[in-house]
A and B are shown apart, each in its own frame.
Chain A
């Protein structure tokens, strides 16, 4: 089975620019997550979708971050405008049940 696909793998932008990340989950996985992993820390949930509805976005900085999941499949995460502290790896994951998530390889964002 194909894994969780993410693109791009790397992105370098200047502060105040905007950026978007894309995720394609495993086929049939209704639940999709975006996590932010800052260097030296564990991943932190930004937003969780169930099909195309938002279940939990309590940790999403809504003044600059937005996410959508069209037709309950692919998802995009956008940052506008980016700040230096947004430098991190953005991980997408999908889940079918209680046996854990499948994570993508992540997008490494550097804001300079």
Chain B
């Protein structure tokens, strides 16, 4: 079945880069997403990548996809205290409107 795994916790200093990793099992995954959740708030879509891409960059965010190893990463450059949140990796097997399967989330703590 589908499964998405993430490391539970990451702590970085303000100004450093953060790298959050994710692995998934569904080889038919077509879209892979990164969501951010702040305390008491809903999920905010940060970025997504189509499975035929290796990399996607959007301002401070860089997503790397290794489809062979089913590994996805999110790099946040120049991490700020406002980036402290829970980051969820999610996959979808691609048909319009298909369900998202989420990982358990990675808590990112940014120290000033």
Query: In the complex, what residues of A have CB within 8 A of residue B103's CB?
Result: 42
Whether A106 and B97, one on each chain, are in contact in the complex, defined by CB atoms closer than 8 angstroms, is no
> Residue B99 at the A interface, CB < 8 A?
yes
Which residue from B42, B88, B90, B100 sits with its C-beta under 8 Å from A105?
Answer: B42
Of A12-20, A69-77, A92-100, the stretch lying at the interface with chain B is A92-100
Within 8 A of A (CB), among B12-59: 31, 33, 35, 40-45, 48
Overall SS of chain B's interface: strand
**Is the C-beta of A44 less than 8 angstroms from some C-beta in chain B?**
yes
Q: Give the shortest distance, in Å, between B76 (CB) and chain A (any CB).
A: 18
Kindly state the separation between the CA atoms of A31 and B97 in the bound complex, as whole angstroms.
7
A101 within 8 A of B: yes
Cβ-closest chain B residue relative to A9: B40
Known contacts A40-B104, A41-B104, A42-B105: A100-B99 contact under CB 8 Å: no
Complex formed: what's the CA distance from A56 to B96 in Å? Answer: 13
Shortest Cβ distance from B63 into chain A, in angstroms? 13
Q: Is A21 on the interface with B (CB-CB < 8 A)? A: no
B43 interface neighbour in A30, A31, A99, A103, Cβ under 8 Å? A103
Q: Does A7 contact B (CB under 8 A)?
A: no
Q: Which B residue's beta carbon lies closest to that of A104?
A: B42
Cβ of B41 and Cβ of A105 under 8 Å apart? yes
Say yes or no: A55-B48 contact (C-beta < 8 A), given A43-B102, A44-B102, A104-B42. no
Residue in B33, B88, B97 with the greatest tally of chain A CB atoms within 10 Å: B97
Chain B residues positioned under 8 Å from A105 (CB to CB): 40-42
- Distance in Å: Cβ of B93 to nearest Cβ of chain A: 12
Q: How far is the CB of A54 from chain B (nearest CB, A)?
A: 12
Using CB atoms and an 8 Å cutoff, list the residues of chain B in contact with chain A.
Answer: 4, 31, 33, 35, 40-45, 48, 88, 90, 96-97, 99-105
